[in-house]
Chain A
Amino acid sequence: NAGVTQTPKFRVLKTGQSMTLLCAQDMNHEYMYWYRQDPGMGLRLIHYSVGEGTTAKGEVPDGYNVSRLKKQNFLLGLESAAPSQTSVYFCASSYRIQGLRNSPLHFGNGTRLTVT
């Protein structure tokens, strides 16, 4: 039972380069999310999606774009990476919108991104 799978696990980018982080879930969840985790800052929501073909901004969306072309996949793009985007990125999914009772987030194992 794979749950939420993120690729790649690690990546080093130079400033200005672009990349796409991939997230796939096999739980048929409608809702998917991208978070970043920084020391002492907890998890901050970048973008999220409430269903196939939809996306919305979270708390820290600047510098990122997302797409949800298929229900099971949620892609996070960095068009021009900056050192401030060095972080650990987590994808998550949920059956109903997060924050509702009995709808916990299911997280992937993260992507550690370093921008030099």
Chain B
Amino acid sequence: DQQVKQNSPSLSVQEGRISILNCDYTNSMFDYFLWYKKYPAEGPTFLISISSIKDKNEDGRFTVFLNKSAKHLSLHIVPSQPGDSAVYFCAASGGNAGNMLTFGGGTRLMVKP
């Protein structure tokens, strides 16, 4: 059973609007969460992270929100740009998983000009 789930395989957004990518987890011991971005024919690259002691972390156009009680995190991209079109993976670590990351299945974001 997947401990980290991204229930939306794809998302389409208009340029300039907000993109919201969601991620749910089941292991309450996870205490560190990350987002990776992947372009076609390239490896994933680290985007942003958040520790469980915070509920929000911001880096430019990217903000990650963590709701521990709901075991839910989201990535907001504002404003969305065509260059943001990629597959986004959320990942989590901590607890009995130790320092190994558990990845979600990914969400493909398409930002239309």
Contact = CB atoms under 8 A, between A and B. Distances in A.
B33 to A, nearest CB: 10
A99 to B, nearest CB: 3
A107 B43 contact: yes
A59 to B, nearest CB: 8
Contacts of B34: 104
B44 A99 contact: no
B32 interface: yes
A94 to B, nearest CB: 10
Contacts of A4: 43
Given A90-B43, A105-B46, A109-B43, A42 B104 contact: yes
B44 A105 contact: yes
A43 B41 contact: no
Contacts of B99: 97-100
The size class of the interface chain A forms with chain B is 20 to 34
A99 B4 contact: no
B51 interface: yes
Leading 6 A-B pairs by shortest Cβ distance: A107-B43, A99-B93, A99-B99, A104-B46, A42-B103, A43-B103
Interface of B: 2, 4, 6, 9, 32, 34, 36, 41-46, 49, 51, 89, 91, 93-94, 97-101, 103-106
13 contacts: A41-B105, A42-B4, A42-B103, A44-B103, A45-B101, A59-B100, A90-B44, A99-B93, A99-B94, A101-B49, A101-B51, A104-B46, A109-B43
